[in-house]
Structure 1
Amino acid sequence: MLDALADGPVAGPELAADLDVSRAAVWNHVEALREAGVAVESTDDGYAVTDVTGYSAEALAFGLDAPFAVEYRDSVGSTNDLARDLAAEGAGDVAVVADEQTASRGRLDREWVSPPGGVWLSVVCRPDVPPAHAPAYTLAMAVAVARACREAGVDARIKWPNDVLAGDDGGARGGRKLCGVLTEMEGEADRISWLVVGVGLNANVDPDDLPAGADATSLLAERGDPVDRRVLVQRVLEGFDDLRGDLRGAVSAWEEYADTVGRRVRVDTPGGVVEGEAVGVEFPGALVVDTGAETVRVTAGDCEHLRPVDGGD
């Protein structure tokens, strides 16, 4: 029905014929769309979508220029968990979206507060690439989020490997955390079976609802007014869809938005602490750090931005 209405007014009999359903079924579907926040009016020329203000599967799917089916929940424990369940059942190219998460988590199993108003989103993919390329999808999603936030008027930048920041602390350690990206996968030695890329974006989250002491922010706090979450989700999905088709280009794009490159960093890796200046990122997502004694390529770890050794900016 959404696809049939996308190009303008369509008469009821024409809709019924095109969709091979009864006129009563057309009316029932139109009412369902209205309840989901899609304004459908009856005009002299037929049914026409005049406004989309809801936050629902139907509203998010209308006008989405990316090949993702949308699975929406008002509340869910974790969009990543639901996405993993769908992936295990064979699903692919599905975007799981929720208004609220009650049992969400971040990277390294850290708690992630997910009250209503945020963008809690997980994408199920089945890419034909080796598991070693999985980190590039995290970077691609971070770029998609940063671009969507900038379109919304917030100067977003990316901290390696999976945080999107906004605001500034004077140039020393970067901004406050706006979004985190969590990627999970299942596969064999030579190929990925499925990949889930989760996004926790503080969109219209009131500053009072952000975790105390977490140095977090939201688009609402940065802008001073709410953002259209429907449009925001669509831009993220469309951007990610474009970037996943060119993973090397996605890694290059990541450097354009990077807040980490050029800073002194301390990275806690499984093999020990690496400290020095971050000088770049290499495919599929390794952070290149100049320690002064050697150049180290870090593939996994917890990164902290440090103040410059001379105490300046």
Structure 2
Amino acid sequence: MQETRREVLDAIADGPVSGPDLAEQLGVSRAAVWKHVEALREAGFGIESDDAGYRLDSVPAYGGEAIAFGLDAPFEIEYHEGLPSTNARARELAAEGATDIAVVADEQTGGRGRLDRGWVSPPGGIWLSVLCRPDLPPAHAPILTLAAAVAATETAREAGVDARIKWPNDLLVPGESGDENGDRKLAGILTEMEGEADRVSWVVIGIGINVSDDGLPTGATGLLAHTGSVDRRRFVQRLLERFDALRNDPERVIGAWREHALTIGQRVRVETPTDEIVGEAVDVEFPGSLVVETDDGRIRVHAGDCEHLRPA
């Protein structure tokens, strides 16, 4: 959000402020104040004006300006009604030298998950990609995937949804006892990175969260199936704020991941590029390795496709 526009919103959110007072406070002309107010109205903000001045009456339900307003995290918001892929757009921004940007779309038409699997991204979901430039060696970059999973899980739980983390990058809602459909996938995370041997150039963390159940594939679920309503604007804000707080705190990330994990304690099968590992998942270690107890001892898996073989 343009900085002066943000300052206008902050000023009128606390009550009526006259045009002359706003102009003096912000160091701009009264005509500039009027232009900013009109731009905000066009973006969907309800701004009333009377003899006492301007006051903020309502905030749009969703959109870039709406997410940016009141966001307590240092991310610029780039919003699109529709995109082929928020990750692809974030990669474009990375090539331009940008950082700390969240690309948000109401719909994705070409969303992809791990192993290049398709990801259904209908209108009304939560589809975003966060671009950042962490001061990390490439081998430590997986901690950001775990941080995003914890942030998304805690935000879903705050909204009333019993979300848990399945290693390495899925959020599930556990099935009830006797539920033949079992655990259902709520969200997925796809992290992409570019770097050199000793440092990361940029990381893009794509997060896709289903909101409605309409049009989802078998085995998937949305937030609305488990809670009465979802404020997408506030959900995205809380997710970004949590991710920002976690991204530089690896110890907290690992502890929170363990707390919210569905995989730990499960008998699992992990397909890696070169092997198949079967055993009990007993832990996750920095920067995101899954520890599996097998008949041949403990194995640390750094990347792979994990299947739960029995309920927790």
Would the TM-score normalized by the shorter structure come out above 0.5? yes
Match of 1:135 among 126, 142, 165: 142
Alignment of 1:223-262 (within 5 A): 223=227, 225-262=228-265
Aligned to 2:286: 283
Match of 2:165 among 133, 153, 158: 158
- Provide the C-alpha distance between the structure 1 equivalents of 2:109 and 2:84, rounded to a whole number of angstroms: 5
1:252 Cα deviation from its structure 2 partner: 1.7
Equivalent AA in structure 1 for residue 226 of structure 2: E
CA contact (8 A) 1:248 1:284 kept: no
1:174 Cα deviation from its structure 2 partner: 5.9
Match of 1:86 among 71, 90, 93: 93
Aligned to 1:75: 82
CA contact (8 A) 2:164 2:174 kept: no
- Provide the C-alpha distance between the structure 1 equivalents of 2:279 and 2:303, rounded to a whole number of angstroms: 16
Helix, strand or coil at the partner of 1:209: coil
Aligned to 2:114: 107
Aligned to 1:200: 208
- Provide the C-alpha distance between the structure 2 equivalents of 1:174 and 1:271, rounded to a whole number of angstroms: 29
Moved more, 245-254 or 30-39: 30-39
Aligned to 2:223: 219
What TM-score do the two structures reach when normalised by structure 2?
0.92
- Provide the C-alpha distance between the structure 1 equivalents of 2:33 and 2:61, rounded to a whole number of angstroms: 20
Match of 1:63 among 70, 88, 92: 70
CA contact (8 A) 2:61 2:231 kept: no
Match of 2:41 among 17, 20, 34: 34
Aligned to 2:192: 184
1:298 Cα deviation from its structure 2 partner: 0.3
CA contact (8 A) 1:158 1:257 kept: yes
CA contact (8 A) 1:79 1:122 kept: yes
1:113 Cα deviation from its structure 2 partner: 0.6
Deviation readout 1:119-139 (Å, 9 max, x if unpaired): 000001011111111111001
1:2 aligns with 2:6: yes
- Provide the C-alpha distance between the structure 1 equivalents of 2:178 and 2:60, rounded to a whole number of angstroms: 38
- Provide the C-alpha distance between the structure 1 equivalents of 2:45 and 2:267, rounded to a whole number of angstroms: 49
1:293 Cα deviation from its structure 2 partner: 2.2
1:35 Cα deviation from its structure 2 partner: 2.5
Deviation readout 1:139-164 (Å, 9 max, x if unpaired): 10010001110111111100000001
Helix, strand or coil at the partner of 2:141: helix
- Provide the C-alpha distance between the structure 2 equivalents of 1:151 and 1:36, rounded to a whole number of angstroms: 28
Unaligned runs of 5+ in 1: none
What TM-score do the two structures reach when normalised by structure 1?
0.92
Match of 1:209 among 215, 222, 230: 215
Aligned to 1:293: 296
Moved more, 126-135 or 160-169: 160-169
RMSD of aligned alpha carbons: 1.8
Tell me: CA distance 1:43–1:283, structure 2 relative to 1, closer, same or farther (3 Å): farther
Aligned to 1:305: 308
- Provide the C-alpha distance between the structure 1 equivalents of 2:244 and 2:207, rounded to a whole number of angstroms: 14
- Provide the C-alpha distance between the structure 1 equivalents of 2:160 and 2:79, rounded to a whole number of angstroms: 26
CA contact (8 A) 2:8 2:36 kept: no
- Provide the C-alpha distance between the structure 2 equivalents of 1:17 and 1:40, rounded to a whole number of angstroms: 19
- Provide the C-alpha distance between the structure 2 equivalents of 1:253 and 1:171, rounded to a whole number of angstroms: 28
1:257 Cα deviation from its structure 2 partner: 0.3
Percent identity over paired residues: 62
Deviation readout 1:80-129 (Å, 9 max, x if unpaired): 00011001101111011000011110111100010101000000101111
CA contact (8 A) 2:278 2:294 kept: yes
Aligned to 2:19: 12
Tell me: CA distance 1:159–1:46, structure 2 relative to 1, closer, same or farther (3 Å): same
Unaligned runs of 5+ in 2: none
1:249 Cα deviation from its structure 2 partner: 1.6
1:44 Cα deviation from its structure 2 partner: 4.9
Moved more, 3-12 or 49-58: 3-12
1:21 Cα deviation from its structure 2 partner: 3.2
- Provide the C-alpha distance between the structure 2 equivalents of 1:171 and 1:45, rounded to a whole number of angstroms: 61
